[in-house]
Structure 1
């Protein structure tokens, strides 16, 4: 006869249980708590007035959010539920159960402070000698916004619907004023129908105004770029005495185009082309990743679907980091970041650029992997020098081993494929929190065991 261990859920503990016995010493939750409690949270603590009932400590709420994002639990409601169901969350929360409103309010209220905490964690990594922070890989990935692309409204479609609604309102007003309302379908409440259409017209007018404001900002920016190009072209013609080759740049068009869109759920998000084909309502999440440790050094979110203009601002943010983190020797990036201007920006910042200038052919001849490039002929431009360095492939190959796996793990393992918050500022704060959680996961793996 088989023997089984008894099932007994009634016997009480002989001694009170201790939260310290719940998790092994190497558990990620312990590491998150240890590092967070060593950070300077004085700015967060001062934000509490001290009135009313005792508040949950910011260190506990921050640890819950970091561990939640690191393990794929992003929703504040799911984190609240996990403080009951999960030993790790119970350990972090000290067997307390902050409700989802408290967690969500903390995430929104202190989102801007996440950037300062992010830098503090990088300093912890430097002090623990987890990396020399000498080489950075830059890449971006489209992450879905908390909005549907079907809630996007184009300027041309808005004008079409606006004309239709105005015509319907005029028709209903005439029916309402008529003495004989026999033409009104049974059950139709004309005042209610008119009010509903007028509300839609007001919403469309507000959306059109925002599209027009965006178009005005775009025109001012493009006009400045156009004038700069024309000045450069005229200077070249004056220096050489010859007309510059190529077509002259076209002047920008003022006003919104028919295809200019705004999303009625999250107006800061944009429709972007995504991997695998198609278009979705997204933000472009950027990350500069240390190639030695795979730690994110600088997270950022942009509304631009193209990466071409992200090198210069990323360099500025890297140089703004504290001493020891702000002097990368090399910057690696794929062909989406390549331009002569970006190469020049890297050189001016004292950073060697290794930016791919084009896509490599699939299945190249095996001999090409071992052939040394021909000597570079002098004089050579900075772009030509960079192309020659890229042919060695050794350093540039690190890009695919660092920044691309980081995005893959965040999306597939940590399960972060869509922002929960709306608005560009809130989304940037949430992306900082995601990268902070990623850094904790990496530091827990890299720490001396």
Structure 2
């Protein structure tokens, strides 16, 4: 008769049993990612980070530990300083990485904002130099591509360069009409305001307009009009120039300064440009504030990056390669990219720098189609016979 196992058995569990503290080392596998981060960060030079410390006061948490914690947290998708501080108390991998030290969220936020905020590129360069020494990368082949990252900004508070130029032009027309009307009233009142020079330069700025309005205000205070109605009208026109036109002109000038040649920006993030992002799951394309991030890789390692305000990849290639050379000290020997980077200017720049380019021009794929070849043949035949 087969033996029947019907007895319920549980593993020993006694909440009141005293357990000695155990080193987190025993729970971290040898192949875990956190161990790789620990070894890599130990090998890089952090002298630029240490220079940020002023000294004095109480002891500080070691920058190596904080840097390791930040890198690992970002890889795990944890960006909030409060959540990182919580993980240092609850997550065994974070506890092992910090050796049971528990800096609070203020310390973490201060470290990444004030200490390493200006030396991220130097840290990245140190990691790349380590990869070169270990033989993982050599900048022989450089695979370049870009992606658009949506900014953390209001997508409905946008400013367009074309609209700004239009509003500014209409405002100048309004100012001209107001000054012409003041001049007309002055003529009707036998030059009560004296000799007025209401003409302004074609490209006058808000400062010049402000000076002109100030002169009008002084003459208006000293003038004596024969008609009270016309006096009130002139005062109203001058007040419009002061409280409306000058303020709006200053606003448009500040917009143009922020734009700096771009076609748009977000009012809640002046560095972000409105770009057409990839379609969502409903195939809806939408203009959103964002950045064009250019990334270069080799052997699945990111060895170059740059952030741009231009939505097109074509104009980013030259600036990207210059930044890569400046940060890492290396220039790629061969650049591989898609047709989005294909332009005569880019080809000439790569040739000038001695870089081999494997980049298709924009119409390469179109020229391979049967329809395009058929049109070329038809065009040649028409030119021959006619």
In structure 2, the CA distance between the partners of 1:80 and 1:203, relative to structure 1 (3 Å rule), is farther
- Tell me which residue corresponds to 2:77: 72
- Tell me which residue corresponds to 2:351: 347
Output the CA distance in 2 between the equivalents of 1:93 and 1:200: 58
3-state secondary structure, aligned to 1:47: coil
Output the CA distance in 2 between the equivalents of 1:364 and 1:6: 72
Per-residue CA distance 1:376-405 (angstroms, 9 max, x = gap): xxxxxxxxxxxxxxxxxxxxxxxxxxxxxx
3-state secondary structure, aligned to 2:304: strand
Q: Tell whether 2:147 aligns with 1:141.
A: yes
User: Which one has the largest radius of gyration?
Assistant: 2
- Tell me which residue corresponds to 1:310: 316
Per chain length, whose mean CA-contact separation is higher, i.e. which structure has more relative contact order (CA < 8 Å, sep 6+)?
A: 1
- Tell me which residue corresponds to 2:219: none
In structure 2, the CA distance between the partners of 1:316 and 1:154, relative to structure 1 (3 Å rule), is closer
Of the three residues 22, 37, 49, the one matched with 1:17 is: 22
Cα-Cα RMSD: 3.2
Between the two proteins, the alignment pairs up a number of residues equal to 283
Output the CA distance in 1 between the equivalents of 2:104 and 2:355: 47
3-state secondary structure, aligned to 1:65: helix
Contact kept, 8 Å, 1:22 with 1:91, in 2: the verdict is no
Per-residue CA distance 1:364-386 (angstroms, 9 max, x = gap): 89xxxxxxxxxxxxxxxxxxxxx
- Tell me which residue corresponds to 1:192: none
Per-residue CA distance 1:401-434 (angstroms, 9 max, x = gap): xxxxxxxxxxxxxxxxxxxxxxxxxxxxxxxxxx
* Superposition map of 1:59-138 within 5 A: 59-109=64-114, 110-138=116-144
- Tell me which residue corresponds to 2:272: 269
- Tell me which residue corresponds to 1:35: 40
Output the CA distance in 2 between the equivalents of 1:21 and 1:200: 71
3-state secondary structure, aligned to 1:309: helix
- Tell me which residue corresponds to 2:197: none
3-state secondary structure, aligned to 1:105: helix
Output the CA distance in 2 between the equivalents of 1:119 and 1:101: 27
> How far is 1:58 from its partner?
0.9
Contact kept, 8 Å, 1:133 with 1:328, in 2: the verdict is yes
TM-score by length of 1: 0.57
Per-residue CA distance 1:279-329 (angstroms, 9 max, x = gap): 111111111111xx1111111100110111111122223434656xx2432
> How far is 1:202 from its partner?
11
> How far is 1:67 from its partner?
0.5
